[in-house]
Chains A and B, each alone.
Chain A
Amino acid sequence: MAQNDIRYLTPLAVEVKKKKYCRFLRNRIKYVDYKDPQFLKRFLNEQGKILPRRITGTSLKFQRKVAQSVKRARHLALLPYVTDMMK
């Protein structure tokens, strides 16, 4: 009886490992446009910081392109350097 004396009130939320994929390779996007802030915002968090690859799952080649175009967009004031409620 002692084995199953630990009873969880709610079933353990087993984190289903969703296979991440690089959206650029999947839909064959070849160029990241720095003039399109709507698209780039998906790669930024609330403070306007660039999300790491382990979250977005993008490949290294495209992560560099995204980072480069985000910095260009910031230079042109299309994206803020730092903000509080971005989304």
Chain B
Amino acid sequence: MINQYETVFIATPVLSEAQMKEAVNKFRRIITDNNGELIHEEDWGLKKLAYPIKKKSTGFYYLFEFRSEGEFINKLETEFRRDERIMRFLTFKMDKHAIAYSEKKRKMNSKTAENKNEQNQKEA
């Protein structure tokens, strides 16, 4: 049964930019290797945490939105637990309202992005 999932994870702020990219690529490969289909990714970057996790008060947030089999999620989560760079993760199974909501948001973001480009071109 193919479902749509959304995973947000927080990486320790100690990581350098390169290590963070490498961690993201590792999970991206895990998803695509197990015939999961990646739909959307978001990098929220370094954000302040509402409460300290593992004595750290900031963290790199990253979001994956993908479609995959149900059994794959256990594998993905053991990978998250095994990787000590990841402080916390949350996997969420998206129902039809959630899917509609994220599509609408993506359309809006792409629209605002286009407007910004147009403005830049006008100014340039």
Question: Which A residues contact B (CB, under 8 angstroms)?
Answer: 30-31, 33-35, 72, 74-81, 83
Contacts and interface: CB of A to CB of B under 8 A. Distances in A.
A76 B100 contact: no
Nearest to B104: A31
A75 B88 contact: yes
27 contacts: A30-B97, A30-B100, A30-B101, A31-B95, A31-B97, A31-B98, A31-B101, A33-B101, A34-B92, A35-B63, A72-B90, A75-B88, A75-B90, A76-B61, A76-B88, A76-B90, A77-B10, A77-B49, A77-B50, A77-B51, A77-B53, A77-B59, A77-B88, A78-B50, A79-B50, A81-B50, A81-B51
A10 B37 CA distance: 68
Interface string B39-50: 000000000011
B8 interface: yes
Given A31-B95, A31-B98, A35-B8, 6 more contacts: A30-B101, A31-B97, A35-B63, A77-B10, A77-B53, A80-B50
A76 B100 CA distance: 23
B51 A76 contact: no
